[in-house]
Amino acid sequence: MEDLAKFAADGKLKAKFLEVESEFSAMSSMVGAVAAGSRVFTATSSQGLALMHEVLFATSGMRLPVVMIVANRALSAPINIWNDHSDTMAERDSGWIQLYTENVQETVDTLIQAYKIAEKILLPVMVCMDGFILTHVIEPVDIPKQKDVDEFLPKYQPDHAVLDTERPMTFGPFTYPEPYFDLKKDMEEAIQDSKDVISEINEEFANKFKRKYGDGFIEEYKNDKDTVIVALGSVCGTIKEVVDKRKDVGLVRIKCFRPFPTEELIKSLKGKKTIIVLEKAFAYGLGVGPVFAEIRNALYPFTEKSKFISVIAGLGGVDIRVIQINDVVDKSKQMKDGEVVWMKT
Amino acid sequence: MAPGTRTCAGCGAVLAARMLLKATGKDVIVCEATGCMEVTSTQYPTTAWKVPWIHVLFENSASVATGVKAALEAQGNNHTQVIAYGGDGGMVDIGFGAVSGALERDDDIMIITYDNEAYANTGIQRSGATPFGASATTTPAGLESQGKKQWKKNIPMIAVAHGSKYVATASIGYPQDLQKKIKKAMQVKGARYLHIHAPCPIGWAFDSSMTIQVAKLAVQTGMWMLYEIDDGAFKRTMTPELKPVDEYIKLQGRFKHLKPETIKIIQERINASWKEMDNLEKCGVNLRTIL
Ligand SMILES: Cc1ncc(C[n+]2csc(CCOP(=O)(O)OP(=O)(O)O)c2C)c(N)n1
């Protein structure tokens, strides 16, 4: 945000830069600005996202195409500033599309796609990148040219609804049970329908910019073994190193967590002997991680053939090392279905 | 506003909205907080608003307005007035952080509170704007309680402490004064704050035919004072010979438990406050530059 502020201050960014007093107001002003017909951006993390919680549901419920980057970080208490996924996982049912990226290049590319997705299906998108691991790293990045981006993502022109004095409309009215129910169902249909849009935009981006991240939903990496690790985000880089060195494990990376890629995961995981779900969040009281629970749910008709292991790793920024992943893969052979491993050195 | 809102009979808040829009004309966008007005004026799929209107949440109408204004400016529209509008709960209490933020940044919006002195929509809970001694559902009068223990939070003065160029109080009992202030506020660039006193028959327990009378009496007894602070210069816009506060209090069920000694405390406070306003006006202190 500080860099964007500097771009704006130097006149390089033709935009209004708002300096609001809280993340709650940041998201609130985004809602106002997008409803008034402008394209918007903000970024947040951890407690900031938690403070936005109430506005997140209003944004999706009002079907407004806000785009935001979340630098994933742990939630208090105890207070901790490092990376994990507890912040965005807590918002997984907020009606936002959630895209998790593995590296900085993918984050840049995904952000551009996110606007196109959001504006086409009228739902907000959060691009989730690992805090510190990706936000405080130096990595060569190819920034696409303005002209190419403009061609891919033309000027935002809302034709559905906009706050306009020539054409007055009421946004966010009070709603009785019957229409409320219908509107919520419509929202879920839109999220499901967004899969076609995400897929299309993934292809279009690949054609234009020559970079592609799986099918837009998942990325399979040497997934031709009996054992597979499923994970999200930057840790997949480490897992790829493990996969490269040993011959008995593959990787499926979930890029798009909302909408949940049920069919894609069934295709890539069905019939596996061992499915290790490694994730940086926990569903307290459920006994497993949230991604684990959702994968097991998606694969329910095929669960008899597979053993599912829930690996909780990296909470509060604990390092996840090659040696530990190797260890889990080794031990998984003796583990029972449904076992939970809290992985830490 | 179209007729047919579903407010209670005698609602002061809906009168405030009507008077506001009459003064602004059509070139406005209203950003409304959750509360009585939002619930009664926009029951999906109907709406009473003939101007663009947006409601998002209870405590963010000021920051929504900030966003709307920023978008208009980015699009080159520098004429449309953007109004953040909400009840006292939404503006004085829970949404005060957003109000304060917009005032501090001097965002070019009009921030308007309609003050019915309670969280009316959810059943008359006390707010920071509920007057001392009033019974509310969370500060009920009882054997050991004389109602609310604190004095009314003075938001207009807090607004001017942010350096706002135009701050004013108004009442639905005095529509000309109210509309004059709105029109004046519209000429000012930056964050402007208006606080409109709007009696609530249900919450205050008076007959719905008496809304205007109660509103006027609030001003005539000094329970609500009308003034403006134009570029820091404080000026009362109405200086009546004050009537005894008892005349105002006795009309309302929310005060019916008050003992004479409590009413006396209220009267003394009004007298003192009125005198200080005299002083403030006469000494000519500029409340913006004093900061
Ligand atoms: C965060 C949050 N808390 C509580 C509510 C429930 N609620 C809706 S309106 C309201 C009271 C509004 O009071 P006020 O702002 O004074 O407006 P009024 O109803 O008096 O017009 C409350 C508590 C809510 N919508 N959001």
Q: B61 and B90 in contact (C-beta within 8 Å)?
A: yes
Give the tens place of pLDDT for each residue, A21-68: 999 999 999 999 999 999 999 999 999 999 999 999 999 999 999 999
Mutate which of B5, B8, B34, B96 for ligand 1 pocket (most atoms within 8 A of beta carbon):
B34
Rounded-to-integer distance, Cα B179 and Cα A236, Å: 62
In Å, how far from its chain's centre is CA B205? 19
Q: A155 and A59 in contact (C-beta within 8 Å)?
A: no
Give the tens place of pLDDT for each residue, A284-337: 999 999 999 999 999 998 878 899 999 999 999 999 999 999 999 999 999 999
Q: B82 and B68 in contact (C-beta within 8 Å)?
A: yes
Say yes or no to pLDDT of B112 above 90. yes
Q: Would you say the CATH fold of A218-343 matches that of A2-209?
A: yes
User: Which residue in A has a C-alpha nearest to residue B84's C-alpha?
Assistant: A32
Say yes or no to pLDDT of B216 above 80. yes
Say yes or no to pLDDT of A2 above 80. yes
Any atom of ligand 1 within 6 Å of the Cβ of B87: yes
Residue-level pLDDT at B250: 97
Give the tens place of pLDDT for each residue, A212-232: 999 999 999 999 999 999 999
- Mean pLDDT, to the nearest integer, of B219-234? 98
In Å, how far from its chain's centre is CA B26? 22
- Mean pLDDT, to the nearest integer, of B76-90? 98
DSSP conformational letter for A271: T
Say yes or no to pLDDT of B289 above 80. yes
Q: What SS3 state is found at A70?
A: strand
Q: B54 and A59 in contact (C-beta within 8 Å)?
A: no
Is residue B1 situated within a structural domain?
no
DSSP conformational letter for A300: G
Mutate which of B121, B195, B200, B204 for ligand 1 pocket (most atoms within 8 A of beta carbon):
B121
Rounded-to-integer distance, Cα B227 and Cα B230, Å: 10
| In chain A, domain spans | 2-209, 218-343
Is residue B2 situated within a structural domain?
no
The verdict on a CB contact (< 8 Å) between B66 and A20 is yes
Q: How many domains does chain B have?
A: 1
The residue whose CA is least distant from atom 9 of ligand 1 is B35
For the entire predicted model, the pTM comes to: 0.96
Q: What SS3 state is found at B270?
A: helix
- Tell me the backbone φ, ψ of residue B234, rounded to 5 degrees: -85, 130
Reported as a pLDDT band with limits 50, 70 and 90, residue B212 is very high
Reported as a pLDDT band with limits 50, 70 and 90, residue A160 is confident
Q: A18 and B64 in contact (C-beta within 8 Å)?
A: no
- Domain range A218-343, its CATH number among 3.30.930.10, 3.40.640.10, 3.30.830.10, 3.40.50.920: 3.40.50.920
Residue-wise burial string across B245-258, b where 16 or more C-beta atoms lie within 10 A, e elsewhere: bbebbebbebbebb
Rounded-to-integer distance, Cα B4 and Cα B47, Å: 9
Rounded-to-integer distance, Cα A250 and Cα A242, Å: 9
- Tell me the backbone φ, ψ of residue A10, rounded to 5 degrees: -90, 0
Sign of the Cα pseudo-torsion (A269, A274, A279, A284, in order):
positive
Could you identify the residue written with the tokens 């507890």?
Answer: A86
Encoded tokens for A106: 């993918």
Q: What is the mean pLDDT of chain B?
A: 97
Residue-level pLDDT at B291: 64
- Degrees (nearest 5) of the Cα angle B136, B141, B142? 145
Is residue B5 situated within a structural domain?
no
Q: Could you tell me the residue range of the domain that residue B141 belongs to?
A: 12-290
Residues linked to residue A341 through DSSP beta bridges, in sequence order = A311
Residue-level pLDDT at A303: 77
- Omega cis (within 30) before A78: yes
Q: How far is the CA of A181 from the centre of ligand 1 (A)?
A: 22
Phi-psi region at A122: left, alpha or beta (left = phi > 0; alpha = psi -120 to 50): left
| CA end-to-end span of chain A | 35
Is residue B7 situated within a structural domain?
no
Rounded-to-integer distance, Cα A18 and Cα A7, Å: 13
Residue-level pLDDT at B290: 79
Residues linked to residue A312 through DSSP beta bridges, in sequence order = A279, A342
Helix, strand, coil distribution of chain A in percent, nearest 5: 45, 15, 40
Interface test with A, best of B57, B61, B94 (most A CBs within 10 A): B57
Residue-level pLDDT at A25: 98
- Mean pLDDT, to the nearest integer, of B153-178? 97
Residue-level pLDDT at A244: 98
Q: A111 and A69 in contact (C-beta within 8 Å)?
A: yes
Any atom of ligand 1 within 6 Å of the Cβ of B35: yes
- Mean pLDDT, to the nearest integer, of B172-179? 98
Give the tens place of pLDDT for each residue, A131-144: 999 999 999 999 99
Instruction: Report the percentage of chain A scoring pLDDT > 70.
Output: 100
Encoded tokens for A254: 């979930």
C-alpha dist (Å) from residue B251 to A62, B147, B208, B247, B248: 43, 16, 12, 7, 6
Residues in CB range of A43: below 8 A, 6 or more apart? A1, A68, A69, A70, A71
Residue-level pLDDT at B4: 85
- Degrees (nearest 5) of the Cα angle A307, A313, A319? 140
CA B164 to chain A, closest CA, distance in angstroms equals 17
CA nearest to B113, candidates B225, B13, B181:
B13
The verdict on a CB contact (< 8 Å) between B71 and A171 is no
Rounded-to-integer distance, Cα B47 and Cα A259, Å: 33
CB contact, 8 Å: A284 with chain B?
no
* Contacts A58 to B, Cβ<8 Å: 56-57
How many H-runs (helices) and E-runs (strands) does chain A carry? 11, 12
The verdict on a CB contact (< 8 Å) between B97 and A164 is no
Which class is A2-209 in CATH?
Answer: alpha beta
Residue-level pLDDT at A159: 82
Q: A125 and A99 in contact (C-beta within 8 Å)?
A: yes
Any atom of ligand 1 within 6 Å of the Cβ of B7: no
Question: What's the CA dihedral at A288, A289, A293, A298 to 10 degrees?
Answer: -150
Residues in CB range of A136: below 8 A, 6 or more apart? none
Encoded tokens for B39: 């619930």
**Residue B115 exposure: Cα atoms within 13 Å on the Cβ side:** 29
Pairing of strands B145-146, B141-142: antiparallel
Q: What is the CATH number of the domain that holds B143?
A: 3.40.50.970
Residue-level pLDDT at B56: 98
Q: A72 and A129 in contact (C-beta within 8 Å)?
A: yes
